[in-house]
Amino acid sequence: MNRPAPISSRLPDFTWDTLEAAAAVAAAHPDGLINLSIGTPVDPVPPVIRQALADASDAPGYPLTAGTPALRAAIADWVARVCGAGVDGLGVLPTIGSKELVAWLPTLLGLGPGDVVVVPSVCYPTYEDGVRLAGATTVRTDSLTALGPDPRVRLVWVNSPGNPTGRVLPANHLRKVVDWARERGAVVASDECYLPLGWSAAAEPVSVLAPEVCGGSYDGLLAVHSLSKRSNLAGYRAGLVAGDPALVAELLKVRKHAGMIVPAPVQAAMIAALGDQEHADAQRERYRARREQLLAAFTGAGFTVEHSEAGLYLWMTRGEDCWATVDWLARRGILVAAGVFYGPGGAQHVRAALTESDEHIAAVAARLALP
């Protein structure tokens, strides 16, 4: 029998497996390995959210794919507050974390062979994975003008603040992307999961749904958000998408058939998380302090930190191949991500996450201060 090629054959090897050798070196450090290679939250889930989850644990019935009316209202209010969007006419939908939406968006929008998806030149790998799952073609670029009049472009991903670079795109840049895409009938998907984590007043992150970017219309726009980092909810899988009501309605239709439903207790937890700013501010302050300590430590050790004005990472170079830097740090017991994971443009960079305990961040600084 002639079996079709497995879908996994369209996808690259899982990039983190290539860090295994460096992880073994780092683990041999007498004081142990400190892992800055992944951005997984380590601080506790805020009690107000855990309580809401527990209170909603008697959930025998199927939850709504669209989210409960209370969750939909909470999402709309939060997006209005954080993104500067108006509530009227805004489509909203909860997602099972944002990674699943990123990975399946091209498929959910009906893209396939012959269609082109534009992603940032150095970016979160799941944008390209999603394009491969749909059988479409990826073009990596930060400059749409360089792309020329390609009529096959159906979707453009932007990510500001960016992973891994921490780069913030100003409103006029985003506006140009939106205008370019609207002229061609392409969708703009804006991954804004780091929007609440800006560190520089000179580079305040701005949403694609802000009036100065979208001109007051959500036409052709989707903003993707996550509670993983803002609220330490990576383990709950809690994300959301907001924007063009027609596009969001289409996503809902397909997701209902596909069973892409946020569990009821997580929906209740999301309401609590979105309605409470206090825990988000406290978490942000933890990251601010860790970032300041790491920035001083890496700079003092001769690294050049680029962008990184927002988000959860330092994007750095020692002007050498990224694997040489990964190895240099591994010998000090510190594991970071190789820049090449995010595209060929990252071949001389590494990415260090701010998501380690205060104790481990202080230990990184001490290790980097040694000759």
Our CB check for ligand PLP shows the closer of 82 and 363 to be 82
Residue of 296, 339, 356 lying closest to 33 (CA atoms): 356
Our CB check for ligand PLP shows the closer of 161 and 333 to be 161
Residue of 291, 250, 229 lying closest to 111 (CA atoms): 250
Contact assessment for residue 239 and residue 228, using Cβ atoms and an 8 Å cutoff: yes
Would you give the end-to-end CA distance of the chain in angstroms? 62
Contact assessment for residue 40 and residue 368, using Cβ atoms and an 8 Å cutoff: no
Q: Which residues bind ligand PLP (CB under 6 A)?
A: 39, 97-99, 102, 124, 159, 163, 191, 193, 226, 228, 234, 239
Closest approach of ligand PLP to the CB of residue 223, in Å: 12
Residue 143 amino acid letter: S
CA dist 92 and 248 (Å) reads 7
User: Burial of 156 by CB count in 10 Å (0-12 exposed, 13-18 middle, 19+ buried)?
Assistant: buried
Our CB check for ligand PLP shows the closer of 194 and 303 to be 194
Our CB check for ligand PLP shows the closer of 65 and 226 to be 226
Tokens 């207790």 locate to 265
Closest approach of ligand PLP to the CB of residue 151, in Å: 28
The 3-state DSSP class for residue 22 equals: helix
Closest approach of ligand PLP to the CB of residue 357, in Å: 18
Residue of 252, 188, 246 lying closest to 221 (CA atoms): 188
Closest approach of ligand PLP to the CB of residue 320, in Å: 25
Closest approach of ligand PLP to the CB of residue 83, in Å: 16
Closest approach of ligand PLP to the CB of residue 99, in Å: 3
Closest approach of ligand PLP to the CB of residue 96, in Å: 8
Our CB check for ligand PLP shows the closer of 97 and 198 to be 97
Our CB check for ligand PLP shows the closer of 220 and 239 to be 239
Contact assessment for residue 167 and residue 202, using Cβ atoms and an 8 Å cutoff: no
CA distances from 169 to 59, 117, 140, 198 (A): 42, 19, 16, 12
Our CB check for ligand PLP shows the closer of 100 and 179 to be 100
Residue 233 amino acid letter: L
Our CB check for ligand PLP shows the closer of 119 and 301 to be 119
Our CB check for ligand PLP shows the closer of 94 and 333 to be 94
Task: Convert 98-136 to b/e letters by CB count within 10 Å (16 or more is b).
Answer: bbbbbbbbbbbbebeeebbbbbbebbbbbbbbbbbbbeb
Closest approach of ligand PLP to the CB of residue 61, in Å: 26
Our CB check for ligand PLP shows the closer of 98 and 308 to be 98
Beta strand 221-226 pairing with 187-191: parallel
- Residues counted in the chain: 371
CA distances from 202 to 168, 199, 206 (A): 10, 9, 12
Q: At what angle do helices 278-300 and 358-369 cross, to 10 degrees?
A: 10
